[in-house]
């Protein structure tokens, strides 16, 4: 026989398993698993996903053998239920439901009560002694089948139902008597003949085949396709179909149907939470006509059923180790489980559930014993129910980036209705920085600052932003740009602050002169209010209510576990004392990237000084201008050093091309001219001269310091003088001077030498010893390729993966918005799984990073390695950084917790794979995650620091191992490893003889 | 004792050897070698270069032991000459001369007649019985020492000499009688005391020490430093000093001095060529007062000396295997050799000498026998003299890129004096394309075209050029730009045509409106004539006379040898039938890069059509516009295919960002608006929309085809339809479709599939079978890193090393002019040995190329690999391409011979290293340098082509080996290898026992 397509479940045994989501779909896998662990599940069978894939691939044909398999399973089902489909006396009714490997709620079709026809409806009426129930079931089936399977107009049938109720003078469906329902059935069947030209199918097999095909086809229904696109579900290609015996919650007051969660999905409280309707079918719950009861009512009304359900709750949560979302039906006092799946939850609940699952039992021992005594809870579960359900490692693995983000970013209040949102929707851009913001539109940075000073909340709307806009960007509540991608200037700067930002909103047509913007036809002017949802990229008219969640206690508990488990250090990208403090609050252990250039835009005075430097025509003039900047920079560094209180601070020397700083307009040039005495025309000429075709690949980074060493000298002086002042104030300080855009070891050697010369002279004069490091960013492919040579000069590497991605892939992040979406969108070219500026391109850029680290450590084993690109806050990239053996990652303050989490998850994965938690570094003698960096001059200090860390690391790893051994899978894995090792040893012994 | 600094030579034996140029300097090595082979060289010693290096490194101090060594050698010299320095009766006189490892003619100092003082001059007068000679020698020494060693004013001494002659009423130095000279000596000594405050040093040792220090110091004289900078001599750091017994050509009519070349340096003719002065010293030749005689006069006047010199000629040319430049002196009928070195020669001579040395004997057997009979020519040389001096391989190794360039590019006529050139010199830019050009200045491409149509020779002077200027650039004789580097648009385009081009001439201040340019203060207007020397980057006022050398027959002979020896194929970059034909003349074997975009600028009509395509807003509109371009492109390809007559033609699909094509001014937009009906404002809006921050990393290359597949479809259609038409006309055709800027295998797969779909449909409809390949440029680091995957899709790789260099190094070639010079200039940062856009950066970019080839061939052994960046015409890069196992290089037509030569030189080097001529490819089953490419569909054809080539390659290699064994060095190397192998075998055998 060919491939197996159909999997039976029933009578306590299922052919499938819970792990077979890909094969059976989520619902099918859940039903199989519940059956296998002995829960009361109505019997049925699942038609596996490959059948659906074949159906679509072959032009709507069933695969060979499917027909036969379904017939055989149907017979098996009839035998299990002791009823026959279409039986005239006591017919079997089945539901036909979709179920894909990933949840797509309500997107595909369901047909209930299948098996009814003109004959069997009478049998059902007789067997249940409830004609109204039977005719209502038939009415529902006719209606569903006609619309879902055959595609008749839904509204016409609804109208007929409505007309019947009007005719009878009643309002509720449940009030229609049996006779009325029978008449409705006749009307529905007449309509069917009129429309289809054939009578309603009476053959249950024909009904079943039609229903299965309808479910198959619904995979390609518009709403399903749209849902998958929106949710980025692009790795599954069909649905399973579940054919299952119907059970009825609408068979009287001893029946009912409900939905429940094993814990409260909104608070995470350990409480059995749910709702039910007595005497109702599932679709009645959906219809929302009757108000459901709290789950506790079930305890009052049917205590035994409730106790049974409590046992089910315990069994499923223990079995899956996860909070479950359950559907059940009670038919005449008998409980049936219809679905189980991991339950969706709020961010707060996610943390509380994870922490409580790992530290507290699900229920009291007394309660568990009580359920066990009633035989509802098998022994195996009753002992587990009074212990923590999962390990701390599992708790950590359960938390996602989204959970953390949702904890910190403001959101549009849940109180605002979907309809209201739709009505206010203006456009969609690229969701650059999550969180929501609202305010009045301004079109310039200056206006933003002015308005903000007046206490107005403003949204800065620009075609794009540039470094000059930084003040206004900071003043604004949110930023919206027409162009750019997730790593455009606006996005990068805003992300650093965690400020809501939407970029690349192509629908904007901004008219700066008229101070207005046309958004998809809606004209908005300065002062008009809008709301941005940075998490989704949506732009709304008006100021919507926002709310900002507070992190719960369980967040802090879990993050403490995280910090104990991870090997990778997490630093932050911060340019100011405020950002530094914020980052420390978020758990940062140092600054991995302090960009000095942002400081130049902080005030008009500084801006003029840097501009003066740039228009200088001689070294002397430049030095004079730089001298004006020196005190500003020194104060900035002092503030940051004090805020970081001895944590390492990596300061990058000036990086952007000079033209970014020069006056662009004649007005600005005039202002500069008045200060410097340089004629306006010359200033403009100089500005034009600085224009570059490809500034990204131009005169920037350390190239500036090769050309103008005095820039480096001023910056190093500011850093070291600030450090000296710190020392004097008794504040520990650990500067790491970082030279950007290196392409060659010799280039770096020249600049490192200059740096040390300046620094050491200051220290000597001040008679102070400040340890400092000099290292480089690895952000050009050439630096990575020649890393062995570069590492002989650099004391640390920091991978600047933004630029490294740009150069390795030949992608300008400012311009990629025009075509990169096509590259990432699966429905178009679908060349990359993710935006490579968001999640590190591991095959390409990652290969260079790996090469760079291997070569760098090969020639300098002590080399400290980190990452300071945007990727340092992306979980997948953080895991990669752990795997390639970096010492730290650095990211914007708000992403620090995300990085900490991912680092711990990576360490756990290592241990589970049998690694050491730091797999890419050789075990002994390597400094991993040193807390203390030391200057070249103090080798002894460095060695002892290394030892300390090595000890700390080893201790931490041992702890992980100890904690992890609790997990069953790990225990098994260790067993296997031990078995293999023993065997290996024996073989070796034998060989030696 | 410490390091040895002094090397003696004399009496037929020298401590040094001719190969020790680095140690002894060129002159010292030559003297040692001539001494060793038994030539009559006055005895002396060489103070080695490290002594000079030490002198400068230690603040003008001699290294320890040097003093002692010199004294010891001086004693040895005195013994050898049987005279003593400063002797009162018959004093030894010495010359003290500089001599660095690389020739720096006239740049450093020389002191002659050292050892004379008030006492020894009398001795000399007595010993020579020639008081006039003695006092003249003393006069010369006083004059030289005072100016060179002590630094007194040259002019004052010259004035005194002049005054003396006036006083005596004579005009020539030689007419001054002994007494007059003695008086002059007194005057010089008096002047010395006046100026220095001490008498002229009488101690010969003090004289010698002073002279040696003067030579050391002259290494840092301004003119020497300048010379080294200009000549890019940056790998040597001092000079040797040669102290040698004086011989005198001014001792009567049986004495004389001369310079000769072993062959004619201007024609290359095999003829002993030189000049001499009877009764004169070397400096008299330089003074140029007397007209020298032709060398043949020596035969008439001193036949035995001449015969001796002929023997020297033969010995040195045979010994060195190279044409030599000799200096000799005859003292009283005795020949002394004072210098030998490889002789400079014209390009024509270079080829003729190389070919004749490899094919014809230096002299007839009769002549050789005659010289041997006279014992002038030792036996070993007399037999060699009647055979070819070198092998063909050696002949090939001798030719340089410069030799070829000088053959083809026009040059400023040698008739123009240096003074004239200096007076006309305006500015210096970057020498982008060699050759000279002169014409009237124009400031716009349009003017260039208009003026050229009127028959005017014009030079296009622009700030920079853009693709729109191409027409005007072609019309101009030469191009001069203010900005840009060697791979800026202007340089690249001009190089393709071999058109004289100077870029980055920063001294220009162009005022387009006023149509004038200020060049270092000189104001030139439209129509003013200038001359460019593209070989040096110099700009001159006025139209200088130019000359264009014709390649001599020997060029064609040598290039035939080259083609037989090389493994690497050489293709050309050509975009038109004319260029294609020119390239074939230059020896191209195919087109490696046909850029399709240049075609779009050929006429206004085409320009409008591409612009129409770009401003289109829908696919249909775009297709309509593309349909207009189709016939143009098809015709272009047809012309190229016909010109290439069956040779492979690699056509790159559209590469540059679209904004390069759009109208920039309102005027241009208006014109387009009239054709397309699209409003001007929309056109300008679209143009602005297309603007990119970093176009190099933007929406270009195959990204355009991902976004607009219809562009690819049109271009593939044009290619294949042209190929079909060729087939119909009976012309063989071999198109290779190249997809640019690939970053991922999947991206390439999508486009390759589309390409094949279009191509195969056309072929099917036409019922014609045209083999074609589809491959890609490897020009992003990511493509190289993921080459294993890319090679599973591509049928060939062509490394686009221009862009690969830009991205790997993060260098925009358009902007690098601002800082890259500092990186390459040794006197500044000196980070790279060469401009990486000119000569491949082997450590960085080269590593990626190597990786790409290894990975690519690893997953697709048949992969054809070439290079089409500018580096394909750079000899060092071509050798690299050979070494990494590429199949071909491609370069602009005029560089094709240079690439052919370099490829042969690489193959020869391989064989000399014991390799196979194609070392990086595994020997069997790999297709190297296939002449025939075949489409995937015809595997059989491909296989047989492979076999053919494999056979051809093996045969060729065998031939190289056979030819090479003739060389003595190789014979020795082989012996060594054999010895080592035998030894290894024996050792292994012993071990086994």
Cα distance between residue B132 and residue A364, in whole Å: 129
pLDDT band at B871 (very low <50, low <70, confident <90, very high): very high
pLDDT digits (tens, 9 = 90+) for A290-309: 678 889 999 999 999 999 99
CA distances from A492 to A170, A275, B253, B962 (A): 62, 45, 88, 65
Nearest CA in chain A to B657: A815
Of the residues B438, B505, B868, B881, which is catalytic? B868
A489 is catalytic: yes
Alpha carbon distances (Å) from A591 to A651, A893, B556: 8, 10, 66
Which tokens in the block code for residue B406? 């000088």
How high is the pLDDT of residue A289? 58
* Measured CA angle at B858 (ends B854, B861), to 5 deg: 110
Mean pLDDT score, B886-909: 96
Q: Which of A693, A749, A811 to mutate to test the interface with B (most CBs of B within 10 A)?
A: A693
Residue-level pLDDT at B322: 94
ipTM over 0.90: no
User: Is pLDDT at B487 greater than 70 in this prediction?
Assistant: no
Alpha-carbon distance of B331 to B328, in angstroms, equals 10
The arithmetic mean of pLDDT across residues B225-240, rounded, is: 79
- The mean pLDDT value for B325-334 works out to 94
Cα B326 versus chain centre, distance: 24
pLDDT at A288: 53
Q: At how many degrees (to 10) do helices A968-992 and A896-912 cross?
A: 40
**Residue A352 structure tokens:** 């509380």
Q: Which residues of A touch B492 (CB under 8 A)?
A: none
Task: List A residues 660-699 in contact with B (Cβ-Cβ < 8 A).
Answer: 692-699
Residue pair A367/A337 in contact (Cβ under 8 Å)? The answer is no
**Residue B353 reports pLDDT greater than 90:** yes
Tell me the pLDDT tens digit for each residue of A362-402.
999 999 999 999 999 999 899 999 899 999 999 999 999 88
Strands B458-462 vs B478-481: parallel, antiparallel or unpaired: parallel
The whole-chain average pLDDT of chain A stands at 88
Å between B700 CA and nearest CA of chain A: 10
pLDDT band at residue B909, thresholds of 50, 70 and 90? very high
Find, among B91, B88, B50, B284, the residue nearest to B174 by Cα: B284
Contact B697 A695 (CB under 8 A): no
Q: Please, are residues B946 and B379 in contact by the beta-carbon 8 Å criterion?
A: no
CA neighbours closer than 13 Å in the CB half-sphere of residue A683 = 25
pLDDT of A487-533, one tens digit each? 577 887 787 677 899 998 988 999 999 999 999 889 999 999 999 99
Q: Specify the higher pLDDT residue, A284 or A709.
A: A709
Whether the CB-CB separation of A544 and A412 falls below 8 Å is answered with yes
Interface membership of B945 toward A (CB under 8 Å): no
Show Cβ contacts of residue B886 under 8 Å, excluding neighbours closer than 6 positions.
B568, B799, B853, B865, B866, B867
B785 CB near a chain A CB, below 8 Å? yes
Tell whether the model's pLDDT for residue B66 goes beyond 60: yes
Could B698 and A841 be called an inter-chain contact, meaning their C-beta atoms sit closer than 8 Å?
no
pLDDT score at A822: 85
Chain B contact for A826, CB < 8 A?
A: no
Percent of chain B with pLDDT over 70: 89
Q: What is the pLDDT of residues B879-890, one digit of tens each?
A: 999 999 999 999
> For the ranges A567-576, B671-680, B958-967, which has the lowest average pLDDT?
B958-967
Q: Where are the beta strands (DSSP E) in B57-194?
A: 84-85, 91-92, 94-100, 110-114
Backbone angles phi, psi at A931, to 5 degrees: -80, -30
CA distances from A223 to A96, A146, A745, A945, B548 (A): 19, 19, 57, 59, 75
Cα–Cα distance for residue pair A260/A272, rounded to 1 Å: 7
Q: Answer yes or no: do A831 and B695 touch at CB < 8 A.
A: no
Overall average pLDDT of the B844-856 stretch: 97
Cross-chain Cβ contact B706/A806 below 8 Å: no
Q: Is B340 a residue of the active site?
A: no
Which residue in the block uniquely carries the two structure tokens 């007046």? Answer: A454
* Cα dihedral sign, A358-A363-A369-A374: negative
Q: Strands across the sheet with B458-462, in order?
A: B425-428, B538-541, B529-533, B436-442, B458-462, B478-481, B500-503, B430-433
Return the minimum-mean-pLDDT range out of A447-461, B539-553, B965-979. B965-979
- Give the burial string for B495-512 (b: 16+ CB within 10 Å, else e): bbbbbbbbbbbebbebee
Handedness of CA B418, B423, B426, B427 (dihedral sign): positive
Those residues whose C-beta lies under 8 Å from the C-beta of residue B72, and which sit 6 or more positions away, are B6
Q: Could you tell me what percent of chain B has a pLDDT over 90?
A: 66
B310 touches chain A (CB under 8 A): no
pLDDT of residue A483: 84
pLDDT for the residue B286: 55
Band (pLDDT 50/70/90 cuts) for residue B826 is low
Pairing between β-strand B324-331 and β-strand A734-739 as defined by DSSP bridges: unpaired
Hey, is the C-beta of B782 within 8 angstroms of any chain A C-beta?
A: yes
- Kindly name the residue from A81, A185, A438, A868 that is annotated as catalytic: A868
pLDDT at B410 over 70: yes
| HSE-CB for B304 with a 13 A CA cutoff | 9
What does the pLDDT read at residue A286? 55
pLDDT band at A599, cuts 50/70/90?
confident
pLDDT of B486 > 90? The answer is: no
Pair of tokens at residue A213? 């095909």
Which pLDDT does position B418 carry in this prediction?
82
Model confidence at A241, pLDDT cuts 50, 70, 90, reads very high
| Other CB atoms within 10 A of residue A72 CB | 13
Q: How many CA atoms lie within 13 A of A740 on its CB side?
A: 28
Average pLDDT over every residue of A630-637 = 95
Question: CB-based contact (8 Å) between B507 and chain A?
Answer: no
Q: Quickly state the pLDDT bin for A230 (edges 50, 70, 90).
A: low
How many CB pairs lie under 8 A apart between chains A and B?
A: 177
CB contact under 8 A, A694 and B697: yes
Is the distance from CB of B910 to CB of B916 less than 8 angstroms?
yes
Using pLDDT thresholds of 50, 70 and 90, give the confidence band for residue A915. Answer: low
- How much is the pLDDT for A9? 97
The predicted pLDDT at position A2 comes to: 62
| Rounded Cα distance, A148 and A144, in Å | 6
Of B174-183, B297-306, B419-428, B594-603, the least confident: B594-603
Q: What percent of chain A has pLDDT over 70?
A: 90
User: Is the per-residue pLDDT at B635 higher than 70?
Assistant: yes
- Closest partner residue to A697 (CB to CB) among B696, B786, B823 is B696
Q: Is the pTM of this model over 0.90?
A: no
Interface of B with A in 19-38 (CB under 8 A): none
3-class SS letters over A162-179: HHHHHHHCCCCHHHCCHH
């Amino acid at each position: 026989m060919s491939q197996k397509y159909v999997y039976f479940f029933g009578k306590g045994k299922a052919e499938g398993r819970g792990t077979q989501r890909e094969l059976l779909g989520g619902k099918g896998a859940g039903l199989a698993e519940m059956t296998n662990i002995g829960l009361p599940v109505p019997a049925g069978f699942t038609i596996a996903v490959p059948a659906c894939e074949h159906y679509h691939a072959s032009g709507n044909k069933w695969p060979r053998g499917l027909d036969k398999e379904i017939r055989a399973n149907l017979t098996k089902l009839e035998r299990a239920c002791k009823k026959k489909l279409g039986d005239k006396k006591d017919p079997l009714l089945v539901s036909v439901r979709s179920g894909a490997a990933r949840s797509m709620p309500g997107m595909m079709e369901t047909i209930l009560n299948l098996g009814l026809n003109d004959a069997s409806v009478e049998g059902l009426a007789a067997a249940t002694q409830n004609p109204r129930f039977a005719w209502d079931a038939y009415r529902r089936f006719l209606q569903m089948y006609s619309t879902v399977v055959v595609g008749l107009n839904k509204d016409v049938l609804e109208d007929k139902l409505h007309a019947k109720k009007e005719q009878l003078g009643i309002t509720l469906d449940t009030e229609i008597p049996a006779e009325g329902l029978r008449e409705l059935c006749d009307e529905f069947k007449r309509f069917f003949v009129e429309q289809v030209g054939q009578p309603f199918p009476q053959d249950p097999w024909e009904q079943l085949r039609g229903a299965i095909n309808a479910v198959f086809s619904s995979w390609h229904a518009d709403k399903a396709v749209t849902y998958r696109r929106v949710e980025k579900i692009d790795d599954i290609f069909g649905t399973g179909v579940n054919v299952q015996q119907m059970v009825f919650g609408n068979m009287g007051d001893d029946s009912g149907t409900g939905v429940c969660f094993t814990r409260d999905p909104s608070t995470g409280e350990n409480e059995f939470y749910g709702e039910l309707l007595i005497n109702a079918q599932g679709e009645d719950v959906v219809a929302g006509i009757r108000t459901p009861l709290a789950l506790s009512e079930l305890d009052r009304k049917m205590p035994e059923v409730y106790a049974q359900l409590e046992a089910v709750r315990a069994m499923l949560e223990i079995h899956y180790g996860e909070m479950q979302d359950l559907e059940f039906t009670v038919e005449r006092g008998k409980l049936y489980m219809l679905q189980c799946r991991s339950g969706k939850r709020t961010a707060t609940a996610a943390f509380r559930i994870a922490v409580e699952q790992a530290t507290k039992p699900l229920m009291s021992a007394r309660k568990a014993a009580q359920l066990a005594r009633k035989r509802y809870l098998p022994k195996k579960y009753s002992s587990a129910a009074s212990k923590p359900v999962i390990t701390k490692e599992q708790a950590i693995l359960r938390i996602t980036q989204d959970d953390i983000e949702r904890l910190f970013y403001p959101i549009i209040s849940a109180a605002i209705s979907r309809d209201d949102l739709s009505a206010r929707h203006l456009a969609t851009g690229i969701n650059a920085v999550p969180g929501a913001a609202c305010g009045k539109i301004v079109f310039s940075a200056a206006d933003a600052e002015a308005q903000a000073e007046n206490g107005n909340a403003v949204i800065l709307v620009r075609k794009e932003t540039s470094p000059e806009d930084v003040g206004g960007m900071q003043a604004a509540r949110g930023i919206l740009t027409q162009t750019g991608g997730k790593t455009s200037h606006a996005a990068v700067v805003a992300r650093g602050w965690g400020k809501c930002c939407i970029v690349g909103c192509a629908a904007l047509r901004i008219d700066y002169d008229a101070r207005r913007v046309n958004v998809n036809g809606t004209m908005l002017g300065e002062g008009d209010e809008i709301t941005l949802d940075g998490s989704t990229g949506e732009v709304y008219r008006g100021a919507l209510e926002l709310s900002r969640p507070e992190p719960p206690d369980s967040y802090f508990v879990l993050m403490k576990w995280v910090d104990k488990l991870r090997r990778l250090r997490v630093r932050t990208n911060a340019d100011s004392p405020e950002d530094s403090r914020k980052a420390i609050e978020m758990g940062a252990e140092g600054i991995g990237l302090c960009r000095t250039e942002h400081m130049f835009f902080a005030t008009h005075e500084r801006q003029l000084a840097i501009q003066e430097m740039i228009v200088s025509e001689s070294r002397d003039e430049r030095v004079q201008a730089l001298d004006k900047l020196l005190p500003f920079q020194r104060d900035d560094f002092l503030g940051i050093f004090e805020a970081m209180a001895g944590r390492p601070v990596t300061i990058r020397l000036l990086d952007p091309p000079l033209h970014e700083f020069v006056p662009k307009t004649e007005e600005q040039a005039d202002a500069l001219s008045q200060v410097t005495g340089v004629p306006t025309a010359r200033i403009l000429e100089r500005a034009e001269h600085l224009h570059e075709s490809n500034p990204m690949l131009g005169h920037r980074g350390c190239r500036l310091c090769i050309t103008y060493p005095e820039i480096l000298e001023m910056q190093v002086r500011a850093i070291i003088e600030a450090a000296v002042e710190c020392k004097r104030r008794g504040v520990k300080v650990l500067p790491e001077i970082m030279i950007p855009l290196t392409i060659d070891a010799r280039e770096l050697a020249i600049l490192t030498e200059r740096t040390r010369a300046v620094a050491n002279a200051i220290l000597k004069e001040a008679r102070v010893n400040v340890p400092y490091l000099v290292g480089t960013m690895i952000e050009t492919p050439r630096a990575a390729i020649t890393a062995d040579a570069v590492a002989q000069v650099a004391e640390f590497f920091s991978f600047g993966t933004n630029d490294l991605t740009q150069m390795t892939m030949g992608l300008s992040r400012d311009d990629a918005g025009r075509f990169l979406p096509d590259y990432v969108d699966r429905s178009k070219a679908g060349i990359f799984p993710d935006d490579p500026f968001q999640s590190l391109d591991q095959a390409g850029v990652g290969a260079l990073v790996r090469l760079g680290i291997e070569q760098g450590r090969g020639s300098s084993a002590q080399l400290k390695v980190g990452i300071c690109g945007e990727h340092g806050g992306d979980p997948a990239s953080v895991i990669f950084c752990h795997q390639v053996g970096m010492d730290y990652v650095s990211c914007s303050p708000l992403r620090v917790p995300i990085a900490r989490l991912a680092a711990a998850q990576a360490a756990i994965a290592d241990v589970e794979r049998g690694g050491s938690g730091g797999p890419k570094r050789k075990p002994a003698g390597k400094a991993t995650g040193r807390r203390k960096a030391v200057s070249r001059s103090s080798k002894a200090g460095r060695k002892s620091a290394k030892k300390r860390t090595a000890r700390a690391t080893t201790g931490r790893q041992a702890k992980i191992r100890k904690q992890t051994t609790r997990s069953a899978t790990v225990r098994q894995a260790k067993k296997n490893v031990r078995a293999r090792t023993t065997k290996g040893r024996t073989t070796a012994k034998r060989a030696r003889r």
